Amino acid sequence: MGSYCPYCDTLCFVDRVLPDGRWVRMHTCCVGMDADLAAFDHNYLTATNPSRRRVA
Domain spans of the chain? Answer: 13-51
Distance of alpha carbon 31 from alpha carbon 23, whole angstroms:
20
DSSP characters for 1-56? --SS-TTTSS--EEEEE-TTS-EEEEE-SHHHHHHHHHHHS--TTTSB-GGG----
Q: pTM value?
A: 0.82
Residue 32 pLDDT:
96
In this structure, the strands spanning 23-27 and 13-17 are: antiparallel
Q: What is the mean pLDDT of the chain?
A: 90
Q: How confident is the model at residue 1 (pLDDT cuts 50, 70, 90)?
A: low
CA distances, 29 to each of 6, 11, 47, 53, 56 (Å): 10, 10, 15, 23, 33
The mean pLDDT value for 24-30 works out to 96
